[in-house]
Amino acid sequence: MTALAFVGGTGPLGRGLGLRLAMAGHSVVLGSRSAERAEGVAAELDAPVGGTDNAAACAGAEVAFVTVPFEGQESILPTLGRELEGKIVVSTVVPMAFDAGGPHPLAVSEGSAAEQCQALLPGSRVVSGFQWLPAPTLLKAEVVVEMDVPLLGDDEAAVEQVAALARDVKALHGFMAGPLRLSSTVEGLTPLLISVNRRYKAHTGVRFAGLARD
């Protein structure tokens, strides 16, 4: 069992991924700017999940997931540097906006949201992943989500630990996909998936053809 925290865990992705990882037997605490809000949100999930403020959640965790909007990470992450020192931090963040033409990726000066995360938390071991998982589906505990979860990072041991967490969730296949500098490629696919899902009223995901699975 791994102690997991979600920074901004009160949103759909933090709740959905937190639910699935708690169902897989991990200790999950949702973080928030408001401990009260996190406690309330956690209590509504169909699994034993805790809730507290972001700093307390991170202090007690071995692995922290960043599940805040891209616009929020520049202000919140530097406040958590001490709690996240030396720990694995999973960036799920997609730099993306919507306009009349639909969803589109945003340019990030560091290269990607995950690389920005690493720059904001230089003492942490950042791994990028989970950007393609649809939160509404994760929140339906009875639905099996059969998808690949490519993980990117420069610390192979950290990536392998996060890949094992992903594989603990039924039908998710987490695997090392490459260095952190490739994260913009993975992050950039999310607007495409949303575009496809909107057009075909679907909940599509990605499976890599030809990849060996257990």
Ligand X SMILES: NC(=O)c1ccc[n+]([C@@H]2O[C@H](COP(=O)([O-])OP(=O)(O)OC[C@H]3O[C@@H](n4cnc5c(N)ncnc54)[C@H](OP(=O)(O)O)[C@@H]3O)[C@@H](O)[C@H]2O)c1
Residues that bind ligand X (CB under 6 A): 8, 10-14, 32-34, 37, 67-72, 75-76, 92-94, 131, 133-135
User: Which residues have C-beta within 8 Å of that of residue 99, sequence separation ≥ 6?
Assistant: none
Number of Cβ within 10 Å of residue 202's Cβ equals 11
Residue with smaller CB distance to ligand X, 44 or 212: 44
In the complex, what is the shortest distance from the CB of residue 34 to ligand X, in angstroms, rounded to a whole number?
6
In the complex, what is the shortest distance from the CB of residue 81 to ligand X, in angstroms, rounded to a whole number?
15
Sheet containing 172-178: give its strands across: 49-53, 27-32, 3-7, 63-66, 88-91, 125-128, 147-153, 172-178
In the complex, what is the shortest distance from the CB of residue 11 to ligand X, in angstroms, rounded to a whole number?
2
Residue with smaller CB distance to ligand X, 69 or 102: 69
Residue with smaller CB distance to ligand X, 156 or 196: 196
3-state secondary structure of 52: strand
| Residue sitting closest to ligand X (CB) | 11
In the complex, what is the shortest distance from the CB of residue 152 to ligand X, in angstroms, rounded to a whole number?
14
Query: CA of 150: how far to CAs of 50, 128, 139, 142, 198, in Å?
Result: 27, 8, 21, 23, 23
Residue with smaller CB distance to ligand X, 94 or 172: 94
In the complex, what is the shortest distance from the CB of residue 73 to ligand X, in angstroms, rounded to a whole number?
7
Residue with smaller CB distance to ligand X, 33 or 104: 33
**CA separation for the pair 28, 51 (Å, rounded):** 8
